[in-house]
Amino acid sequence: MKAFNKLKWGIFLILILFAVMAPLKASGYWLRFLTFIFMWIGLAGSLNLLTGYTGYLDFGHVAFFGIGAYMTGVLMVHLGMPFFPAMFIGAILAAVMAVIVGIPTMRLRGAYFAIAMLAFAEAMKQVVMEFDRFTGGGNGLSLPIYTNYLFFYYIMFSTVILTIGVTYWFEKSKFGKALMAIREAELAAEVSGVNTFRCKLVAFGISAFIAGIIGGIYAYWMTFLYPGDAFNVLITMRMIIMAFLGGAGTLLGPIIGASFLAAVEEVLWAEFKYSYLIIVGFVVVFVVLVLPRGIVGLVKEKARVK
């Protein structure tokens, strides 16, 4: 296990070094591609903080990405606010909304939460459509244009570091252990003195906060927002698939799952738009039936046999 840990940290350091140095060599296309991969690692990681550690599947996680994106956009366009405070307020709003939605739904079984979130994301999309005075509604919202792609590369990369840091804290802290206890046996955790409801809410808030930050960066990066894009159900689907493919409830899982799927997507997406999603569906079924602990689980099993 120690050897495995050393190996893990070694890989980490190399990857971080590689990511920091990449802009020296890489061209525009590759930087954009890497920035997207960072975005997906962050998003899959944020879903993982909730779903992987508490066992609550979220079918509407894109709502927080969209809230962060639109709040950032609206503040920058209508109040002329600089990017960072706007993004921060957007992320705070995402976290607050998560807590508000979580209060009734997280007391019930996970299925209520999963689909209530689906309804929430759909409702948020409609709210953005209705408040078209601020959000531009279906016509979209144009943000101030900023084309420094290195800025977006590094800031997206820092969300990856943030996500990994928080996940690491979940893995090691008492709070994280309480969450895992909830995932494994909620009643037992409750009886052991864990305030399960509050722990779940906090995890949900943190997870939404990170998704909100990434949404804000995405808005500034793309400089244009559509309700249909910012609240696209597909974004939620990808987050779920990436987290579970890599291994939900692990540190490396979302990183591996997101990199793998984003890379495969880059190759397949353009040519097989719909058949691609069929393949993804088969992957989900395969993961559930054969590989319930994801790729990371597979590697760990192998490591244990040695």
Residues at the interface with other proteins (CB under 8 A): 51, 55, 57, 59, 101, 103-105, 107-112, 114-116, 118-120, 122-123, 125-127, 129-130, 233, 237, 240, 244, 274-275, 277-278, 280-285, 287-289, 292
Cα 83 to Cα 136: distance, rounded to the nearest angstrom: 19
> Considering beta carbons, is residue 23 or 55 the nearer one to other proteins?
55
Cα 248 to Cα 90: distance, rounded to the nearest angstrom: 26
Q: How far is the CB of 42 from other proteins (least distance, A)?
A: 21
The size of the chain, in residues, is 306
> Considering beta carbons, is residue 169 or 282 the nearer one to other proteins?
282
Q: How far is the CB of 284 from other proteins (least distance, A)?
A: 3
Q: How far is the CB of 121 from other proteins (least distance, A)?
A: 9
> Considering beta carbons, is residue 105 or 196 the nearer one to other proteins?
105
Q: How far is the CB of 4 from other proteins (least distance, A)?
A: 26
Residue of 115, 122, 73 whose CA lies nearest to 93: 73
> Which residues neighbour 281 within 8 Å (Cβ) at sequence distance 6 or greater?
none
> Considering beta carbons, is residue 34 or 43 the nearer one to other proteins?
43
> Considering beta carbons, is residue 51 or 72 the nearer one to other proteins?
51
Three-state SS string over the chain comes to CHHHHHHHHHHHHHHHHHHHHHHHHCCHHHHHHHHHHHHHHHHHHHHHHHHHHHCCCCCCCHHHHHHHHHHHHHHHHHCCCCHHHHHHHHHHHHHHHHHHHHHHHCCCCHHHHHHHHHHHHHHHHHHHHHCHHHHCHHHCEECCCCCCHHHHHHHHHHHHHHHHHHHHHHHHCHHHHHHHHHHHCHHHHHHCCCCHHHHHHHHHHHHHHHHHHHHHHHHHHHCEECHHHHCCHHHHHHHHHHHHHHCCCCCCHHHHHHHHHHHHHHHHCCCCHHHHHHHHHHHHHHHHHHCCCHHHHHHHHHHHHC
Q: How far is the CB of 127 from other proteins (least distance, A)?
A: 6
> Considering beta carbons, is residue 96 or 284 the nearer one to other proteins?
284
CB-CB contact of 131 with 225 (8 Å): no
Q: How far is the CB of 231 from other proteins (least distance, A)?
A: 11
Q: How far is the CB of 291 from other proteins (least distance, A)?
A: 12
> Considering beta carbons, is residue 166 or 238 the nearer one to other proteins?
238
Q: How far is the CB of 92 from other proteins (least distance, A)?
A: 21
> Considering beta carbons, is residue 59 or 88 the nearer one to other proteins?
59
